[in-house]
Amino acid sequence: MSSQSPSLKADNTLGLDVSTQTRTIAETPNAILEAWQSSRMKDSPFLILGEGSNVLLLENFAGTVVLNRIKGIKIDEDVEAWKLHVGAGENWHQLVKTTLEKGITGLENLALIPGMVGSAPIQNIGAYGVELKDVCAYVDVLNLHNGNIERLHRDECQFAYRDSIFKHQYQSGYAIVAVGFSLSKQWHPVLTYGDLKTLNPATVTAWEVFNAVCTMRQSKLPDPAITGNVGSFFKNPVIPHEQAAELLARFSDMPHYPQPSGEVKLAAGWLIDRCQLKGLRIGGAAVHQQQALVLINAENATPQDFVALAREVRAQVGEKFDVWLEPEVRFIKAQGECNAVEVIS
């Protein structure tokens, strides 16, 4: 790594020691646009990052990395709901806390998810029974080709499990600059997941849900400030009903979640755990002991350590269950994003 190249080590939660040619902090949509135009003129690669909590940077980036830091939280209300317009560079967890402090409920199940508000719609972040799509009203995107800001209403965002239009049609040439939320004044606690089931729906408060979610998360997920990680490294696989039935005949204790489509979602963490891969280490990268779906930077891991470990995990789960895991984390090469499944196949 050249001494002039800015480091991205603090800009990715895996703590990988890679660099970029140019690193820019953008506090306005216009700053993102200018950075894009200047990289177009040089015909060089361009990447927007929030907190880098869902990326695997495979090598030094050969262009411009723009760190989205567009701030601002505007709160309106009507009779039924609180309406929030939030700058894409606000920290997600801080937003959850700020709303609760103001007596605004609805985001509590999504506490402690790292990253920026503007990144949340991209994979439709979800946890403990709630997804971004349940609270999102709209997403404002800057069209980098013409400088216009377009508003996509929730129904236009094609939200699905860990997916949205921002991973497809609106992936390249667009920057998310703000997210709108609609949070009902009639609070309906979501207590369907894990330890939340033990809370009393008649008396529970949003702060209690928030605290329970934080406690559950802290018991399983490593704090990226201490141990590098990107949360779930793989998506939970969604497989045909027939294949799930065959697997259940062999593994009756296998967690499985029937989907409205008729397909069945499995728990990737359980599949990896069943292959007895907890603690498996390649170089400095390891499968987390408390949650097998999390790969951690145990000690000075390189991007190649993570690739080798993810490949091994995918191969072992595939051989045992004939279920082929796909990364949730986005793989970024020198020129930009690449196909993560191809890299680890």
- The residues annotated as belonging to the active site are 162, 232, 328
Out of ligand EPU, ligand FAD, none, what residue 279 binds, judged by CB under 5 to 8 A for its kind, is none
Q: Is the distance from CB of 147 to CB of 33 less than 8 angstroms?
A: yes
Give Cα separations from 139 to 116, 119, 142, 146 (angstroms).
Answer: 13, 11, 10, 18
Stretch that binds ligand EPU, among 14-22, 94-102, 199-207, 286-294 (CB under 6 A): 286-294
Nearest approach, Cβ of residue 155 and ligand EPU (Å): 23
Kindly report the backbone phi and psi dihedral angles of residue 81, in degrees, each rounded to the nearest multiple of 5, phi listed first: -145, 155
- Vertex 308 angle, CA 307 and 314, to 5°: 85
Out of 49, 275, 293, 296, the residue judged to bind ligand EPU by CB under 6 A: 293
Out of 29, 114, 269, 327, the residue judged to bind ligand FAD by CB under 6 A: 114
Q: Which is nearer to ligand EPU, 19 or 229 (CB)?
A: 229
Out of 166, 328, 330, 340, the residue judged to bind ligand EPU by CB under 6 A: 328
- Vertex 343 angle, CA 225 and 164, to 5°: 70
Out of 240, 255, 279, 336, the residue judged to bind ligand EPU by CB under 6 A: 255
Q: Which is nearer to ligand EPU, 127 or 264 (CB)?
A: 127
Using CB under 6 A as the binding rule, whether residue 187 contacts ligand EPU is answered as no
Q: Is the distance from CB of 297 to CB of 285 less than 8 angstroms?
A: yes
If DSSP codes are grouped into helix, strand and coil, which group holds residue 145? coil
Using CB under 6 A as the binding rule, whether residue 279 contacts ligand EPU is answered as no
Using CB under 6 A as the binding rule, whether residue 269 contacts ligand EPU is answered as yes
**How do beta strands 336-337 and 330-333 pair?**
antiparallel
Q: Is the distance from CB of 161 to CB of 265 less than 8 angstroms?
A: yes
Using CB under 6 A as the binding rule, whether residue 280 contacts ligand EPU is answered as no
Binding pattern to ligand FAD, positions 18-57, x when CB under 6 A?
A: -----------------------------xxxxxxxxx--
Q: Is the dihedral of CA 159, 163, 168, 173 positive or negative?
A: positive
Using CB under 6 A as the binding rule, whether residue 291 contacts ligand EPU is answered as yes
**How do beta strands 174-184 and 81-87 pair?**
antiparallel
Kindly report the backbone phi and psi dihedral angles of residue 174, in degrees, each rounded to the nearest multiple of 5, phi listed first: -135, 145
Nearest approach, Cβ of residue 91 and ligand EPU (Å): 16
Nearest approach, Cβ of residue 36 and ligand EPU (Å): 28
Nearest approach, Cβ of residue 125 and ligand EPU (Å): 7
Please identify which residue in the block is written with the tokens 């790969």.
295
Q: Which is nearer to ligand FAD, 247 or 296 (CB)?
A: 296
Q: Which is nearer to ligand FAD, 71 or 319 (CB)?
A: 71
Structure-token pair, residue 263: 């397909």
Using a 10 angstrom Cβ sphere, with 0-12 exposed, 13-18 middle and 19 or more buried, the burial of residue 225 is exposed
Using a 10 angstrom Cβ sphere, with 0-12 exposed, 13-18 middle and 19 or more buried, the burial of residue 4 is exposed
Using CB under 6 A as the binding rule, whether residue 224 contacts ligand FAD is answered as yes
Please identify which residue in the block is written with the tokens 């939340």.
196
Q: Is the distance from CB of 62 to CB of 45 less than 8 angstroms?
A: yes
Nearest approach, Cβ of residue 80 and ligand EPU (Å): 27
Binding stretches for ligand FAD (CB under 6 A)? 13, 47-55, 68, 88, 113-116, 118-120, 122-123, 125-127, 175-176, 221, 224, 229-231, 330
Binding stretches for ligand EPU (CB under 6 A)? 127-128, 193-194, 220, 231-232, 235-236, 255, 267, 269-270, 273, 291-293, 328
